[in-house]
């Protein structure tokens, strides 16, 4: 998954390849129907509020805390996924071992499993009488109904992102650098830091931001495992749902808009980093 | 040196195996284990229940629609984004990615605002007797939305890396667009495309959040499999819920295996 | 220019195809042989039974077959969906206020509470406690669940209709103890400090308590409590507190939709039949309190007992010795929502 913006045609090049009108037309109309019109209606709806009302809603104490919970847990979960993702991608690309195919094939499973089902299963596993929870309980750790539980669920949801972005880069990278470093006597750690890490960084960062954004918005699996206590384990998407239940459309859309802007900013940051990386590569 | 490497190798592999075991195998195993805890008979009866089958049909239809539309879109978008230069290209590519980062809850909400009863479009839709929200089209649209970028995201990097020389040559030789695409471009992107389709269909099958906002949970009408699972779970039918979930896992596994088989060929 | 023309052509073609696709799949059959009942979470079992009863009744009465399609979920969420165009013919929700919200959207004519007998509430319910077998924490009334070592499970009043009844029932108890407003808030704070999991819906709470083994006491709908006892015999006991609240789940015909579907008669009859003797019995058997006094009488528990250790075999489960307040006491739903559950209402203050 490399940046979409990485490729630039030379300016002024004559178009010999056909199909511009058709493909652009379809792309734009699909984007319009599926993405743009709905998102505009969100903005229009929020625009009914005065700026002060809008700010009051999005800076309510509970709302702020919910953001904090969402951000901190999503960040920790994506960080875990980033580390584990790199290790997993490394193992899958560089090593041969029995069961590798299965391991490789499993990575996408979290995508296919409904988040609610994942949430239910994880909750059952991590409560104090669950398979994992009872072990953790002996060590004095409570997982379900705490922030740890939220992180647990989010790690599950975010597994595929980093692995799948780093994997192709590692595959393409040839071994000569590493071998050279090894002959020069560098430690594996140094090799990783100096040679491999800079290479995979853009992909890693791309995967990380995707996982982060996904985790930030995750709802289905988290509501089951979180406990949903205000000022403790209440996440931002739940705030939107709870505002909806109160028929407070404007508040719900305001919070939604803020999250949407956050998502867009995250994407833009990623886009810039990918663009720079692509430029550097050239 | 060699020995040390081997040690590192196995440590790394076991870390991965442990991580995947705890995070993936255990939850999935738990689901299958619970679904069979009342015996195979009750498993079969929940899986062949009338409403389960209806939900499964809807899920398959939705997935086909989502994959179909996203295929057309994904091919077009990646063609036009990688083969041409134009103003607003970056904006378009960012917009395509946006659904990936939007909370499914928000996705549901925006469609509710756009096509729901309070929207300006509603009277128009009403006039033609079209219901989108809380009907099958709503479910399909929500699914298309959440799976929107999957195919194009897979194809675009590949198209970028192969460059345009071959296609330009073919165009100069007088081949038309579809021929170029079929004979020259497609063989290059086949695997990426297939991978995108796999991801897209896996995600489409499992989508819960957005669909749950837009479906209205009408039993036997707009319930997809994930919603059906939730419904069974809420109705104290835990083994039934897990049985239907394992059906979903099975479908996902089949798709993933299919991909592997195709990849080998 | 030519380029732009190409784009335009493609856009038009595409939009046209999309429209055709949507119309063809969205245009469902106009003549309906089913009606949609949008209800709240704990009524799944009740309506499953009632629907087959009604389908039979309708067949006998008119010779037509009818199918009832159910939708269940959190009461507020369900109301929201109907107000947004979910094509419900009838709604049977947990709170009058939720139906009011649909009426506010102009889909139900005013005065829906007078449309059917007993303020359009064919059955009522109340709030009780479900505790683990043997009642290890000795919980007998609201005061006991404030103790430090008691873990309480109740859903979030912001997202769950049932939870609002729970909250108000607790509030009323402290009020009846003669506490001032500040004292009540203090007591409520203590109660919610004891809450281990604040789920988003009544069913989710029950699951946390029953399946996941959280907490010592579940504050629940009476029918949910009995249902859990039925599902897990010998594991739970129902404790009926001295005071509680009369919950009146309201039913209504969604006027706009029945007109559109041409289902006025069957929808009307569907709700009306809820008051028939057969249906009232069915409701009582599903642990709702029927409004028909004569029928209710047959289900009242004989002994002077507030703790029900197992589901009574003679079917007598109703504890009548309970002081019930109602929503009027709190000034109606509109007032209550604003004061208690709105932004910076009492519930927010409890958590500050």
Q: Which of A159-163, B186-190, C73-77, C291-295 has the lowest mean pLDDT?
A: C73-77
Q: Are B108 and B210 in contact (CB under 8 A)?
A: yes
- pLDDT tens digits, residue range B17-37? 999 998 888 998 998 888 888
Token pair for B159: 């198209």
Residue B67 has pLDDT above 80, yes or no: yes
Residue A10 has pLDDT above 50, yes or no: no
User: Which residues of chain C make contact with B217, given a CB cutoff of 8 A?
Assistant: 71-73
% residues pLDDT > 90 (chain C):
58
Does C245 reach chain A within 8 Å, measured CB to CB? no
Q: Are B221 and C69 in contact (CB under 8 A)?
A: yes
Dump the DSSP string for C136-193. Answer: TT---SGGGGGSTT--EE---TTT-HHHHHHHHHHHHHHHHTT--HHHHHHHHHHHHH
- pLDDT tens digits, residue range C106-118? 999 988 999 999 9
Q: Which of A22-36, A239-253, B48-62 has the lowest mean pLDDT?
A: A239-253
Q: Tell me, what's the pLDDT at C281? A: 94
Residue C203: inside a domain? yes
Residue B190: inside a domain? yes
Closest CA–CA distance from residue A112 to any residue of chain C (Å): 23
Q: What is the largest CA-CA distance in chain C?
A: 90
CATH of the domain at C152: 3.40.190.10
% residues pLDDT > 70 (chain A):
94
Q: Which of residues 126-165 of B touch C (CB under 8 A)?
A: 128-137, 140
Residue C25: inside a domain? no
Q: Are B202 and B119 in contact (CB under 8 A)?
A: no
Q: Which of residues 144-203 of A touch B (CB under 8 A)?
A: 155-156, 159, 168, 182, 188
Contacts by C101-108, CB closer than 8 A, 24 or more apart: C101/A247, C102/C252, C102/C254, C103/C252, C105/B117, C105/B118, C106/C256, C107/C82, C107/C83, C107/C254, C107/C255, C107/C256, C107/C257, C108/C252, C108/C253, C108/C254, C108/C255, C108/C256
Tell me, yes or no, whether C110 and C55 share the same domain: yes
- pLDDT tens digits, residue range C134-170? 999 999 999 999 999 999 999 988 878 889 999 999 9
* Mean pLDDT on A196-202: 85
Residue C204: inside a domain? yes
Residue C255: inside a domain? yes
Residue A79: inside a domain? yes
Does C197 reach chain A within 8 Å, measured CB to CB? yes
| Predicted TM-score (pTM) of this structure | 0.84
Q: Are C126 and C244 in contact (CB under 8 A)?
A: yes
Q: Compute CA C214 distance to the chain's CA centroid, rounded to the nearest angstrom.
A: 23
Eight-class DSSP state of A193: I
- Kindly indicate the confidence band of residue C291, based on its pLDDT and cuts at 50, 70 and 90: very high
At B163 the three-state DSSP class reads: coil
Q: Are C141 and C118 in contact (CB under 8 A)?
A: no
Q: CA Rg, chain A, in Å?
A: 22
Residue C329: inside a domain? yes
What domain range includes position C221?
126-246+307-350
Q: Which of residues 7-46 of A touch C (CB under 8 A)?
A: 20-26, 28-30, 33
User: Which residues of chain A make contact with C79, given a CB cutoff of 8 A?
Assistant: 247
* Mean pLDDT on C260-266: 90
Eight-class DSSP state of B135: S
Residue C298: inside a domain? no
Closest CA–CA distance from residue C215 to any residue of chain A (Å): 11
- Kindly indicate the confidence band of residue A53, based on its pLDDT and cuts at 50, 70 and 90: confident
User: How many structural domains does chain B have?
Assistant: 1
Q: CA Rg, chain B, in Å?
A: 22
Tell me, yes or no, whether C86 and C157 share the same domain: no
Tell me, yes or no, whether C165 and C88 share the same domain: no
Count the alpha carbons within 13 Å of C98 in the hemisphere toward its beta carbon. Answer: 31
At C125 the three-state DSSP class reads: strand
Does C41 reach chain B within 8 Å, measured CB to CB? yes
Q: Are B196 and B150 in contact (CB under 8 A)?
A: yes
Q: Tell me, what's the pLDDT at A109? A: 82
Residues 6+ apart with CB under 8 A from A230: A62, A65, C198, C351
Q: How far apart are CA C218 and CA C127, in angstroms?
A: 10
- pLDDT tens digits, residue range A143-168? 888 899 999 999 998 998 899 888 88
What domain range includes position A203?
54-281
Tell me, yes or no, whether C330 and C207 share the same domain: yes
Q: Are C245 and C168 in contact (CB under 8 A)?
A: yes
User: How many structural domains does chain C have?
Assistant: 2
Q: CA Rg, chain C, in Å?
A: 23
Residues 6+ apart with CB under 8 A from B81: A4, A27, B89, B92, B93, B152, B156
Residue C323 has pLDDT above 50, yes or no: yes
Among the partner-chain residues A23, A127, A223, the one whose CB lies closest to the CB of C200 is A223
Q: What is the mean pLDDT of chain C?
A: 88
CB contact under 8 A, A264 and B101: yes
Q: Tell me, what's the pLDDT at A242? A: 80
Residue B259: inside a domain? yes
Residue A111: inside a domain? yes
CATH of the domain at A132: 1.10.3720.10
Residues 6+ apart with CB under 8 A from B135: B216, B221, B222, C26, C28, C87
Q: What is the mean pLDDT of chain B?
A: 86
Q: Report the chain A residue with the minimal C-alpha distance to residue B108.
A: A38
Q: Tell me, what's the pLDDT at A11? A: 43
- pLDDT tens digits, residue range B95-146? 888 888 788 888 888 888 888 888 888 888 878 877 888 889 899 999 999 8
CB contact under 8 A, C351 and A231: yes
Q: How far apart are CA C178 and CA C195, in angstroms?
A: 24
Residue A2 has pLDDT above 50, yes or no: no
User: Which residues of chain A make contact with B248, given a CB cutoff of 8 A?
Assistant: 112-114, 117
Q: Tell me, what's the pLDDT at C11? A: 66
Tell me, yes or no, whether C206 and C332 share the same domain: yes
Q: Which residues in B139-177 are b (16+ Cβ under 10 Å) and which e?
A: bbbbbbbbbbbbbbbbbbbbbbeeebeebbebbeeebeb
Q: Tell me, what's the pLDDT at C180? A: 94
User: How many structural domains does chain A have?
Assistant: 1
Between the alpha carbon of residue B97 and those of residues A39, A206, B74, B76, the distances in Å are: 14, 12, 12, 15
What domain range includes position B251?
38-264
Nearest CA to B55 out of B205, B238, B194, B235 is that of B205
Does B228 reach chain A within 8 Å, measured CB to CB? no
Q: Tell me, what's the pLDDT at C311? A: 84
- Kindly indicate the confidence band of residue C32, based on its pLDDT and cuts at 50, 70 and 90: low
Q: How far apart are CA C140 and CA A67, in angstroms?
A: 39
Q: How far apart are CA C87 and CA C260, in angstroms?
A: 9
* Mean pLDDT on A207-223: 87
Residue C334 has pLDDT above 80, yes or no: yes
Residue A226 has pLDDT above 50, yes or no: yes
Does A3 reach chain C within 8 Å, measured CB to CB? no
- pLDDT tens digits, residue range B159-172? 888 888 888 888 88
CATH of the domain at B57: 1.10.3720.10
More reliable by pLDDT, C242 or A103: C242
Q: Tell me, what's the pLDDT at A5? A: 36
- Kindly indicate the confidence band of residue C244, based on its pLDDT and cuts at 50, 70 and 90: very high
Question: Whose structure tokens read 């209709």?
Answer: C161
Does A16 reach chain B within 8 Å, measured CB to CB? yes
- Kindly indicate the confidence band of residue C29, based on its pLDDT and cuts at 50, 70 and 90: very low
Tell me, yes or no, whether C254 and C140 share the same domain: no
Query: Is A51 buried (19+), middle (13-18) or exposed (0-12) by CB count in 10 A?
Result: exposed
CB contact under 8 A, A28 and C11: yes
Residue B31: inside a domain? no
Tell me, yes or no, whether C174 and C266 share the same domain: no
- pLDDT tens digits, residue range A117-131? 888 889 889 888 888
- Kindly indicate the confidence band of residue A3, based on its pLDDT and cuts at 50, 70 and 90: very low
CB contact under 8 A, B153 and A4: yes
Q: How far apart are CA C240 and CA B204, in angstroms?
A: 46
User: Which residues of chain B make contact with C36, given a CB cutoff of 8 A?
Assistant: 218
Residue B88: inside a domain? yes
Q: Tell me, what's the pLDDT at C144? A: 94
Please give the interface size between A and C, counted as residue pairs whose CB atoms are below 8 Å apart.
102
Q: How far apart are CA B246 and CA B43, in angstroms?
A: 10
Residue A32: inside a domain? no
Q: Are B128 and B135 in contact (CB under 8 A)?
A: no
- Kindly indicate the confidence band of residue C33, based on its pLDDT and cuts at 50, 70 and 90: confident
φ, ψ of residue C209 to 5 degrees: the values are -75, -45
Q: Tell me, what's the pLDDT at A112? A: 72
Residue C2: inside a domain? no
Q: Which residues pair with C217 in a beta bridge?
A: C131, C152
CB contact under 8 A, A30 and C14: yes
**Distance between the two ends of chain C, CA-based, in angstroms?**
63
CB contact under 8 A, B137 and C25: yes
């Amino acid at each position: 998954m490399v940046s979409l913006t990485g490729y630039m045609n030379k300016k002024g090049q004559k178009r010999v390849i056909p199909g511009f009108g058709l493909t652009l037309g379809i792309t734009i109309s699909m984007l319009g129907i599926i993405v743009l019109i709905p998102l505009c209606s969100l903005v229009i709806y929020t625009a009914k509020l005065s700026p002060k009302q809008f700010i009051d809603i999005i800076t309510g104490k509970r709302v702020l805390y919910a953001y904090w919970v969402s951000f901190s847990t999503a960040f920790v979960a994506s960080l875990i996924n980033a580390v584990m993702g790199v290790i997993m991608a490394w193992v899958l690309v560089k090593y041969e071992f029995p069961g590798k195919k299965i391991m490789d094939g499993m990575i996408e499973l979290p995508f296919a499993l409904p988040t609610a089902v994942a949430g239910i299963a994880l909750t059952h596993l991590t409560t104090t009488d669950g398979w994992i929870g009872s072990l953790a309980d002996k060590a004095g750790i409570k997982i379900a109904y705490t922030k740890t539980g939220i992180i647990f669920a989010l790690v599950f949801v975010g597994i595929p992102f980093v692995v799948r972005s780093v994997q192709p880069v590692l595959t393409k990278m040839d071994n000569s650098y590493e071998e050279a470093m090894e002959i020069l006597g560098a430690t594996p750690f140094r090799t990783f830091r100096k040679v491999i890490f800079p290479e995979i960084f853009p992909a890693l960062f791309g995967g990380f931001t995707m996982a982060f954004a996904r985790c930030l918005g995750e709802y289905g699996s988290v509501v089951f495992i979180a406990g949903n206590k205000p000022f403790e384990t209440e996440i931002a998407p739940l705030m939107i749902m709870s505002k909806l239940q109160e028929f407070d459309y404007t508040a719900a859309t305001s919070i939604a808009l803020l999250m949407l802007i956050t998502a867009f900013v995250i994407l833009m940051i990623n886009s810039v980093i990918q663009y720079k990386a692509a430029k550097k590569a050239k | 040196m060699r020995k040390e490497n081997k040690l590192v190798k196995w440590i790394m592999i076991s870390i991965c195996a442990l991580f995947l075991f705890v995070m993936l195998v255990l939850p999935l195993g738990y689901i299958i284990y619970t679904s069979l805890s009342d015996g195979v008979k009750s498993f079969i009866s929940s899986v062949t229940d009338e409403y389960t089958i209806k939900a499964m049909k809807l899920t398959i239809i939705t997935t086909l629609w989502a994959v179909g539309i996203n295929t057309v879109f994904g091919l077009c978008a990646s063609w036009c984004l990688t083969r041409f230069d134009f103003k607003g290209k970056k904006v378009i590519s960012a917009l395509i990615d946006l659904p990936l980062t939007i909370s499914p809850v928000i996705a549901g909400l925006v469609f509710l605002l756009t096509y729901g009863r309070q929207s300006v479009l509603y009277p128009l839709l009403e006039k033609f007797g079209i219901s989108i929200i809380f009907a099958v089209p709503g479910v399909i649209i929500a699914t298309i939305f959440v799976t929107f970028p999957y195919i194009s995201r897979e194809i675009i990097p590949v198209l970028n890396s192969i460059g345009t020389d071959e296609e330009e040559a073919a165009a100069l030789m007088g081949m038309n667009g579809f021929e170029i695409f079929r004979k020259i471009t497609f063989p290059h992107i086949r695997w990426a495309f297939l991978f995108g389709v796999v991801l897209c269909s896996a995600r489409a099958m499992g989508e819960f959040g957005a669909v749950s906002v837009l479906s209205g949970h009408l039993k036997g009408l707009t319930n997809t499999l994930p919603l059906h699972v939730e419904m069974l779970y809420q109705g104290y039918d835990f083994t039934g819920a897990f049985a239907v979930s394992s059906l979903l896992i099975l479908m996902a596994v089949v798709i993933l295996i299919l991909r592997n088989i195709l990849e080998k060929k | 220019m030519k380029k732009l023309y190409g784009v335009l052509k493609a856009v038009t073609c595409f939009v046209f195809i999309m429209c055709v696709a949507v119309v063809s799949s969205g245009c469902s059959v106009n003549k309906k042989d089913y009606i949609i009942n949008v209800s709240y979470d704990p009524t799944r079992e009740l309506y499953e039974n009632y629907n087959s009863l009604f389908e039979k009744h309708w067949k006998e009465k008119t010779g037509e077959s009818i199918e009832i399609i159910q939708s269940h979920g959190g009461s507020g969420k369900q109301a929201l969906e109907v107000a947004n165009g979910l094509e419900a013919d009838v709604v049977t929700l947990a709170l009058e206020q939720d139906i009011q919200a649909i009426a506010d959207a102009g889909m139900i004519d005013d005065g829906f509470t007078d449309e059917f007998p007993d303020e359009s509430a064919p059955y009522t319910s109340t709030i009780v406690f479900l505790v683990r077998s043997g009642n290890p924490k000795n919980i007998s009334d609201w005061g006991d669940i404030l103790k430090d070592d008691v873990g309480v499970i109740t859903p979030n009043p912001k997202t769950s209709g049932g939870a609002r009844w729970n909250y108000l029932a607790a509030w009323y108890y402290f009020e009846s103890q003669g506490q001032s407003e500040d004292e009540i808030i203090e007591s409520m704070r203590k109660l919610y400090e004891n809450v281990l999991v604040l789920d988003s819906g009544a069913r989710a709470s029950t699951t946390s308590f029953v399946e996941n083994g959280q907490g010592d006491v579940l504050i629940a709908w009476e029918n949910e409590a009995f249902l859990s006892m039925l599902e897990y015999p010998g594991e739970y006991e129902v404790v009926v507190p001295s005071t509680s609240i009369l919950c009146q789940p309201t039913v209504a015909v969604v006027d706009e939709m029945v007109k559109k579907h041409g289902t006025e008669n069957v929808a009307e009859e569907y709700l009306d039949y809820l008051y028939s003797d057969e249906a009232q019995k069915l409701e009582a058997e599903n642990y709702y309190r029927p409004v028909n006094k004569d029928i209710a009488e047959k289900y009242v528990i004989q002994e002077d007992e507030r703790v029900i250790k197992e589901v009574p075999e003679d079917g007598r489960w109703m504890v009548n010795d309970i002081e019930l307040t109602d929503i009027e006491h709190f000034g109606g739903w509109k007032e209550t929502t604003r004061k208690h559950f709105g932004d910076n209402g009492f519930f927010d203050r409890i958590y500050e």
